[in-house]
Amino acid sequence: MNLKEKIASDLKEAQKEKKELEISVLRQLLAAILNKEKEKRAKLAKEKELTEKEELEKESQLIDEEIIGVVFSESKKRKEAISEFEKGKRLDLVEKEKGEAEILKKYLPEQISEEEIKKFAKEAVEKVGASSLKDMGRVMAELMPKVKGRAEGALVTKIVKELLS
């Protein structure tokens, strides 16, 4: 069972148990996945000029890594909303967003610690022979595939900047 099927299955389960918040979050997540598949389908149709509808459908299905990217993006939206609602002192909405973030967390891989990110970053710095902030792009290009979906980009950027400074 791939991740998309698991999310759909969990949605059915939440509907049976009448868990309103979970139903809402999972529907939004499936809609975001569907939108990403549509984007991919349109891109493939232009690039490869695939005319076979079945072939285009099959090619545009998201793999688990791409779905994790969508989940990560949705989770990031919740974190940003929490921050904004806290500034506006809307604690009711903060709690709702935190609940949504918790539900999304179940579909993300285990997040790696700052120590692990530092270790990967040091390896990437050594591998590309980086010596200053000018080399940050090369370091990030080397590092991000290793931590994608398992660490926030802002944290990774901060750690790399510290290492290169």
The rounded distance, in Å, linking the Cα atoms of 107 and 155 is 20
What local confidence, expressed as pLDDT, does residue 41 receive? 85
Specify whether the CB–CB gap between 127 and 118 falls below 8 A.
no
Determine the Cα–Cα distance for residues 44 and 72; give it in Å rounded to an integer: 23
Domain 114-164 class? mainly alpha
Give the CA distances from residue 41 to residues 5, 19, 48, 57, in Å, rounded to whole numbers and listed in that order. Answer: 19, 33, 10, 7
Helix (H, G, I), strand (E, B) or coil at 114: helix
pTM for this entry: 0.78
3-105 and 114-164 in the same fold:
no
What six digits make up the tokens of 63?
């793999």
Q: pLDDT by residue (tens digit) across 83-130? A: 999 999 999 999 999 999 999 999 988 888 889 999 999 898 888 888
Map out the domains of the chain as residue ranges: 3-105, 114-164
- pLDDT tier for residue 51 given thresholds of 50, 70 and 90: low
Q: Quick one: pLDDT at residue 32?
A: 96
d(CA 29, CA 136): 33
What pLDDT score was predicted for residue 153? Answer: 83
Q: Which of 128, 164, 133, 131 is nearest to 143 (CA)?
A: 128
**How high is the pLDDT of residue 90?**
95
How far apart CA 39 and CA 62 sit, in angstroms, is 11
The rounded mean pLDDT for the chain is: 89
DSSP string, 69-98: HHHHHHHHHHHHHHHHHHHTT-HHHHHHHH
In degrees, rounded to 5, the angle at the alpha carbon of residue 61 between the alpha carbons of residues 97 and 58 is 160
CA–CA dist 162, 131 (Å, integer): 12
Query: 3-105 has which fold?
Result: Hypothetical Protein Yqey; Chain: A; domain1 (1.10.1510)
Torsion sign (Cα): 147, 149, 155, 161: positive
